[in-house]
Amino acid sequence: MPFFPKPAAVAKPAPAGVVVFSVNREILIDQSGRPPTVATCQALGLPLKDVLLAAEIGGMPCYSVQQLAPETTLPPPLQTTSLRAFLNRQSPAWRQAITRAVELSSWRMEHRFCGRCGTAMQLNPDDGALRCTRCGFESFPILSPAIIVRITRGDHEILLGRNRAFSTPFFSNFAGFVESGETFEDAIRRELHEEIGVEVTDIRYFGSQNWPFPHTLLAAFTAEYAGGELHPDGEEIAEATWFDVRSPLPPIPLPGSISRAMIDDFLAMQRAT
């Protein structure tokens, strides 16, 4: 597990430390396919601004820095790559560290001014919050809870949906943000009712995953179908279909995502029986 210190400004980052530059939904990498080190950035003249220690993995610092403006000209061999695809290739520890670094840089960029009085915010080293220099209002790094649920019917069927927002068409479990005042179970029932018109029972916790799109803490659950006819809402869910997992499945999420882990878990149950 990575060590996550409180957000604190770093005046002299370690040369061997890894720097996570994000720009929109992309991340900066070097020719090795990894985020560049502090030494590489300095050698290439890429300025490091708002440096925070986001995480440490086995003594290796992972730094969060100010996001790059989309029009920034990158010095070769640095280039950007899809953050989503990059995270799916990482070990769980590096995925968490890089997710945290991306989330910290978005948090700083989006909370430069106090939401209460509009004055500039400053990082408070005592508690790792951004603090208003006038009224004292504090903002901590943002996390948005969301649920994702695997719905099965009997021993072999799984219900998967195709989201209209996916750039490449694939089928996945059903997910949504938790509304203010809701429990996870409430959010599951509401999302499934709104998006596909089904009810579930036997809701069980599966695991959780941080996901920096934009700062989501995904709580994953499994559930058994209990009733209702499939009515995809057509807005978020374009299509919802029962698949018998004894036959080949359509394209599903990439390994590394908790959605894929839940589907793989159901497939493993088939092999075990």
* Residue 8 interacting with Zn ion (CB under 5 A): no
Residues 137 to 156 in contact with Zn ion, rule: CB under 5 A: 137
* Residue 129 interacting with Zn ion (CB under 5 A): no
For the chain, the helix, strand and coil percentages under 3-state DSSP, each to the nearest 5: 20, 35, 45
192 and 198 Cβ atoms separated by less than 8 Å: yes
22 and 102 Cβ atoms separated by less than 8 Å: yes
* Residue 124 interacting with Zn ion (CB under 5 A): no
Instruction: Give the range of 55-63, 131-139, 220-228, 256-264 binding Zn ion by CB under 5 A.
Output: 131-139
What span, in angstroms and rounded, lies between the C-alpha atoms of 52 and 198?
45
**Omega before residue 61 within 30° of 0, cis:** no
Residue number with CB closer to Zn ion (51 or 129): 129
* Minimum CB–partner distance for residue 137 and Zn ion (Å): 4
271: its two tokens: 């092999």
* Minimum CB–partner distance for residue 121 and Zn ion (Å): 8
Instruction: Give the range of 23-31, 40-48, 94-102, 124-132 binding Zn ion by CB under 5 A.
Output: 124-132
What span, in angstroms and rounded, lies between the C-alpha atoms of 194 and 196?
6
What span, in angstroms and rounded, lies between the C-alpha atoms of 150 and 259?
8
* Minimum CB–partner distance for residue 52 and Zn ion (Å): 21
Residue number with CB closer to Zn ion (132 or 263): 132
* DSSP letters spanning 196-219: T--EEEEEEEEEEEEETTTTEEEE
* Minimum CB–partner distance for residue 143 and Zn ion (Å): 22
Per the listing, tokens 């799916």 go with 88
262: its two tokens: 């839940």
252 and 174 Cβ atoms separated by less than 8 Å: no
For β-strands 199-211 and 79-82, DSSP reports them as unpaired
Residue number with CB closer to Zn ion (34 or 116): 116
Task: Pick from 9, 109, 135, 143 the residue near Zn ion by CB under 5 A.
Answer: 135
* Residue 130 interacting with Zn ion (CB under 5 A): no
Instruction: Give the range of 33-41, 125-133, 221-229, 243-251 binding Zn ion by CB under 5 A.
Output: 125-133
What span, in angstroms and rounded, lies between the C-alpha atoms of 260 and 170?
11
Per-position x/- string for 89-118, each x denoting binding to Zn ion as judged by CB under 5 A, each - no binding: -------------------------x-xx-
Residue number with CB closer to Zn ion (138 or 182): 138
* Residue 120 interacting with Zn ion (CB under 5 A): no
Residue number with CB closer to Zn ion (132 or 218): 132
Residue number with CB closer to Zn ion (25 or 134): 134
Residue number with CB closer to Zn ion (135 or 226): 135
Residue 194's H or E segment, with its range, is helix 184-195
